[in-house]
Structure formats: structure tokens, C-alpha cells
Amino acid sequence: MSIWYIIDLVGTSVFAISGALSALSKKMYHDIIAILFIGFLTAVGGGTIRDVIMGAYPIAWIRDPNYLIVIITSVSLAVFCRKWWRGALKRPLLIFDTIGLGLFTILGMQKALLVGVNDWAAILLGIITALFGGVIRDTLVNDLPLILDRQLYVTPCLAGALLYQLNRFLGLDSTFNLILSACLITLVRLIAIRKDWTLPRIEN
Amino acid sequence: MSIWYIIDLVGTSVFAISGALSALSKKMYHDIIAILFIGFLTAVGGGTIRDVIMGAYPIAWIRDPNYLIVIITSVSLAVFCRKWWRGALKRPLLIFDTIGLGLFTILGMQKALLVGVNDWAAILLGIITALFGGVIRDTLVNDLPLILDRQLYVTPCLAGALLYQLNRFLGLDSTFNLILSACLITLVRLIAIRKDWTLPRIEN
Amino acid sequence: MSIWYIIDLVGTSVFAISGALSALSKKMYHDIIAILFIGFLTAVGGGTIRDVIMGAYPIAWIRDPNYLIVIITSVSLAVFCRKWWRGALKRPLLIFDTIGLGLFTILGMQKALLVGVNDWAAILLGIITALFGGVIRDTLVNDLPLILDRQLYVTPCLAGALLYQLNRFLGLDSTFNLILSACLITLVRLIAIRKDWTLPRIEN
């Protein structure tokens, strides 16, 4: 059982929790089955789209039941522990979504590089892995898409992906590189929200 | 021509009609081509996503023109017969959508099991087959997604899928099992709407 | 380097520009990275969905970095030249979107025919290639979907696709056929908007 496999399961768990918290934070009616289903789609959506684009079959959660077990456990935990946050779901949702963003960008890029995609396509596939679980989640709960949010969203993923590629060419150890790049994404996104960092708006 | 093939075409017809009725029931402008296109996407959307996730090529409607013929006929029939319902499209739409829900959950699961997917992934692929035609339809006509509806939606599909798996392990004849499990889904969904059955809401 | 390859890159450029202009025309906040990302998804979305449905791997933009270079250049150009239009983005957006519609319908159909799809499925895959880049774009910027627009949208694509098939059976040169059919689509769509052409509305 490699370290990558464990990190992949951790990312899956984190995004499943973010999907569950997102469903919980909606005013609409939600029972446990709907929350599980949205948690599942959030967790596997981005990676599934990446693998389908690359034609990299079989897809992880179909081959390996551990992904589904991790998702069911994580969503149940999120639902069970929701009282701890006393309804203040916004902050934990943000944190889990942002950790997932960092992990999935880099893991998605790594998977794409393993399959033999060129370096630029790998960056895009990493970003798609990170963003499209959330896009599916937001579409299903009828939320505004986050892509055009004021705060930096695509930008931190791109920055982390570029850092990973740079370190790779410099020959950095790949586990260390993953942790470093994923942390960069998570930190830049969190600080951008906190400090209201933005790129210059492009006016018409 | 096997019984499965005929049932698959019946399910396709039912979902094509549900897509056409859904487009008709919108206030937006709709001509015959738009209605055909939405009927087509509703009918093939879920199954296409399932086959793409499994990498099970070629996909049925690309290999076999009968699917397209069935869709064009069904949508034309739905449009032609709309006067019978005198504008009361809500009830027939509901009935066709619900029959499609039952048939496609079980057919989707069966197809996944044939391809060699594990038992748990098969349940999820069945539910995805049933739900995503409708999700695509609702997204295109800009409807609220049904996943977070008060009434049971994912739950009946899950119940029917679990019943099918149970019967399969008990060695029940698979045609009989399909009919039984699909009827369970359709009935539970219809009764849930009628009697306003819900699972307990999970409060924040 | 064949003529088809160049036309495909031109179509990619045109749709990338349409995606960028669409993002620019929104009131929401948009920085250069978000605009690039939406331009990219608009340009490659439809073709990616077509190839994934056919299982035609590897997909063009993953195999060939030129697509990404064309997209980055086109979006940058669109952003840089936006002053020329003095905020009147509606007209250029319409023109680029409509040229893309024509090119991608026919190119998508041609690609499907090369892969060996039947004639009817090829028409549908052509329409999907042309429409789904825009559908992804509109979903991400939270726009109303254009499928149910008053003005003809699916219809011109269908007309052009049918003309292409007819000419193909008559043995017309395929480059000439492409130009003819793509122009028909673009013209019908533009005139339909100008003259407010519609198909008869189907009343409930």
C-alpha cells in the first residue's frame, strides 16, 4: 500500500466531507441518502472526468471498493459531527474544500503524468480533477459556480501546478513535492479569501 | 432479439417521452427540434454516462440506430398526443419519469454487472443511469435539480437496487427480478409523492 | 499539415474567443485566469465530449499541445482587443459563437464518420460537438441555456448536417462540402436572429 494510495483516499475523504457539508448548508430538504449521493459525486467527480478524458480505465472507485467505503464513512462522520459546529458549516466546508483543492490538483496532475500526457495537458487535467467535483456538487445543489468568484480559485491551483512542474524538473523528491505544492494551493486560497486578494479585474 | 433489448428500448422510449413532456411544460419557447434534442439527451444521457465511466464501448445508440428511431417516434407521439392531456402535463410527466427511473436503475445495474464491475459500484452505476438523463434534462431547461427534493428520489432507486442484489444472491430468475425491483422503485417513488413520505430531514 | 487540421485549429480559436467574450460580458468578477479557463473549456468541451462518447482516444488537445497554444493566444488576443469593441461585446460574441457553431458541427460530424459511426449518430455527434462547449460555458457562468431559445439554435446545425450528408452521397468534394455546410449553419443562425425567424412554437 503506497503513500500515494493513502493520500488519494485522504483527498477522497476530504472532498466527500465537503460535499456533505455543502448539502447540509443548503436550505433545501436533505435526507441521509441525498447527502451520501452528493458526497460521493463530489469526491469522485473530478477524478472520474480526468480518467474518462484520458481513457484511463478502469476508474479507481470502480476497481477498488475502498473508495466507496471511505466515502460512506466520511459522510456519516460529517453528518454525525455536525452538532459540533452548531450550524456554522461555512468555515469547516471552506477548509475541507480548500484542502481537497490542493490535494486533488497535484494528485490529478501526477496521475496524468503517469498515463503519459504532455506537461501542459497534465496541468489542465490536475485543475479539472480539483474543480469538477465541486462544479458537479454546486450544479446539483443549484449553487452559483465558484469559477467566476471574486476570490482566487483557479489561480491557486495553477500556481501549485506550476510549482510542482518546476520542482519536478529540478529533481525534487515527488512525495515532498506533492506536499509542498498542495500546501501552496491551500494556503494561497485561504489567504486570498481572508485578505480578499484578487487578480486585477478585466474591465470591458 | 432478447427480452433485455426490448426492455431497454421501452425504457429509452419512456425517458424520451419524459424529456419531451418536460420541455413542453416549460414556459420557454420550444420548437419541435429543441424538444427532439432534449428528448434524445434525456433518453440516452444516463446510459451514456454509465458506459463512458466503465469504458464500455461502443455505446448502444451509436452502434444501433434503433435507439434513435425509438426516440424520434416516442417524442413525436408525445408532441402529437399532448392535446389529450389538455395542458395537464404534470401527471403524465411524473408517471413516465418514474417508470423510467425504475427500469433504468435496474437495467443500468445489470449492464454494469455484465461488464464485470464490483457489486457496490454496480448499484451506484445503476442509480447514475437512472438519474443523469433527468439531471441533464433539468440542467438544459434550467430547472431545479430533483436530487434534493423533499420527496424520496435517490432512496427508491437505492431500495430497488438493493432488492435486485439480494434476489440475485438468492438465485431468483433475472427477468422476474428486474420486473420486481423496477416495480418497487416506481411504486415507492409514486407512493412517496402521493403520501408525502420523506426520510427524516437532517438538521444542521 | 492537412487543411482539416488548420480548420480544426481555426474552430478552436473561434470558440476560445467566444468563451472569453462570454466571460467578459458577465457582471461577475473575472480575472485573466478565469477567462482563460472558460475559453479553454468552451473551445475543447464539445469535441472532448464527442471523443469520449465514441471512445476515440487520445483526445486531440491531450495529444497535441498546439490546441492549448492556440487557445492561450486567442483568449489573450480577445482580452487585449476588447477596447476596440468599447464594451459592445454582444455582437462579436454572437459572430464568433455562430462561426464556431457552423465549423464544429461539420468537423465533429466528419470526425465521427472517420471513426466509423453510423450516419444518424454522426449527425447527433456533430450537433453535440457544436453545442456542448457553449453549454459548459453557459453553465459555468450561470447563464440561461440557449437550447430553448426562441431563435433557431439546434435547427441550423441540423440543417447544415443534413446538407453535408446529402452532398456526401452526391459525391461532392469534402473540403468544399465542409465550407458550404458550415456557412449554411452560420448564415441561417445569423439571419434567424436578425429577422427573428422561428419554428412554430408547440403549445401545450
- CB-closest option in C121, C135, C202 to B62: C121
- Extract the C-alpha cell encoding A165: 512542474
- Do A20 and A78 contact (CB within 8 A), yes or no? yes
Give the count of beta carbons closer than 10 Å to the beta carbon of residue A33.
19
Q: In this predicted structure, what is the pLDDT of residue A193? A: 84
Q: φ and ψ at B146, to 5 degrees?
A: -85, -10
The residue written with cell numbers 467527480 in the block is A45
Distance from CA of A117 to the nearest CA of B (A): 19
- Do A20 and A75 contact (CB within 8 A), yes or no? yes
- Rounded CA gap, B37 and A10, in Å? 41
Q: What is the mean pLDDT of each run of 10 residues along chain C (204 residues)?
A: 83 90 76 88 93 92 91 92 67 81 93 89 93 82 64 87 94 91 93 82 70
pLDDT under 70: residue ranges of chain A: 1, 27-29, 85-90, 142-150, 204
Chain mean pLDDT for chain C: 86
- Do A106 and A126 contact (CB within 8 A), yes or no? yes
Put simply, the answer to whether C23 touches A158 (Cβ < 8 Å) is no
Put simply, the answer to whether C158 touches B38 (Cβ < 8 Å) is no
Put simply, the answer to whether A200 touches C61 (Cβ < 8 Å) is no
Q: Produce one character per residue of B93-111: b if its CB has 16 or more CB atoms within 10 Å, e if not.
A: bebbbbbbbbbbbbbbbbb
Q: Express each pLDDT in B59-68 by its tens digit.
A: 989 988 899 9
* Residue from A148, A197, A203 to probe the interface with C (highest C Cβ count within 10 Å): A148
Among A25, A32, A38, CA closest to B201: A32
Q: At what angle do helices B3-25 and B119-140 cross, to 10 degrees?
A: 30
Chain B residues inside the 8 Å CB shell of A26: 148
Task: For residue B199, give every residue at least 6 positions away whose Cβ sits within 8 Å of its Cβ, in sequence order, or none.
Answer: A31, A32, A33, B152, B155
Q: In this predicted structure, what is the pLDDT of residue C142? A: 65
- CB-closest option in A118, A120, A148 to C28: A148
Chain A residues inside the 8 Å CB shell of C55: 55
End-to-end CA distance of chain C: 52
- Rounded CA gap, C74 and A169, in Å? 28
Alpha helices (runs of H) in chain B, residue ranges in sequence order: 3-25, 32-54, 60-63, 66-80, 90-115, 119-140, 154-169, 174-195
Q: Express each pLDDT in B152-167 by its tens digit.
A: 788 899 999 999 999 9
- Extract the C-alpha cell encoding C163: 446538407
Confidence of residue B88 (pLDDT cuts 50, 70, 90): low
The residue written with cell numbers 460529517 in the block is A78
Among B52, B56, B58, CA closest to A51: B52
Put simply, the answer to whether B55 touches C55 (Cβ < 8 Å) is yes
- Over 80: is that where the pLDDT of B118 sits? yes
Q: In this predicted structure, what is the pLDDT of residue A40? A: 93
Put simply, the answer to whether C33 touches A147 (Cβ < 8 Å) is no
- Extract the C-alpha cell encoding B92: 403524465
Put simply, the answer to whether B31 touches C149 (Cβ < 8 Å) is no
Q: In this predicted structure, what is the pLDDT of residue C87? A: 57
- CB-closest option in C30, C57, C65 to A202: C30
Cis (ω within 30 of 0) for the bond into B92? Answer: no
- Rounded CA gap, B88 and B82, in Å? 9
- Rounded CA gap, B177 and B170, in Å? 10
The residue written with cell numbers 465511466 in the block is B53
Put simply, the answer to whether B23 touches C148 (Cβ < 8 Å) is yes
Among C135, C161, C154, CA closest to C198: C154
- Over 60: is that where the pLDDT of B86 sits? no
Confidence of residue B85 (pLDDT cuts 50, 70, 90): low
Put simply, the answer to whether B62 touches C147 (Cβ < 8 Å) is no
- Rounded CA gap, B141 and B125, in Å? 24
- Do A151 and A188 contact (CB within 8 A), yes or no? no
* Residue from B29, B90, B135 to probe the interface with C (highest C Cβ count within 10 Å): B29
* Residue from B48, B51, B53, B155 to probe the interface with A (highest A Cβ count within 10 Å): B53
Name the interface residues of B facing C (CB cutoff 8 Å).
23-26, 28-35, 37-38, 40, 48, 52, 55, 57-59, 61-63, 65, 68, 79, 82, 87, 89, 139-142
Separation of CA B43 from chain center: 7
Separation of CA B188 from chain center: 15
Put simply, the answer to whether A34 touches B127 (Cβ < 8 Å) is no
For C61, name the nearest residue in chain A, comparing CA atoms only: A121
Angle, alpha carbons A200-A201-A202 (nearest 5°): 110
What is the rounded (10 degree) CA torsion for A178, A184, A186, A187? 150
DSSP string covering A4-49: HHHHHHHHHHHHHHHHHHHHHHSSS---HHHHHHHHHHHHHHHHHH
End-to-end CA distance of chain A: 52
Put simply, the answer to whether A148 touches C140 (Cβ < 8 Å) is yes
Neighboring chains of B (3 or more beta-carbon pairs < 8 A): A, C
Chain C residues inside the 8 Å CB shell of A149: 29
Separation of CA B128 from chain center: 9
In sign, the C-alpha dihedral spanning C10, C139, B14, A36 is positive
- CB-closest option in B121, B198, B202 to A61: B121
- Extract the C-alpha cell encoding A78: 460529517
- Do B110 and B130 contact (CB within 8 A), yes or no? no
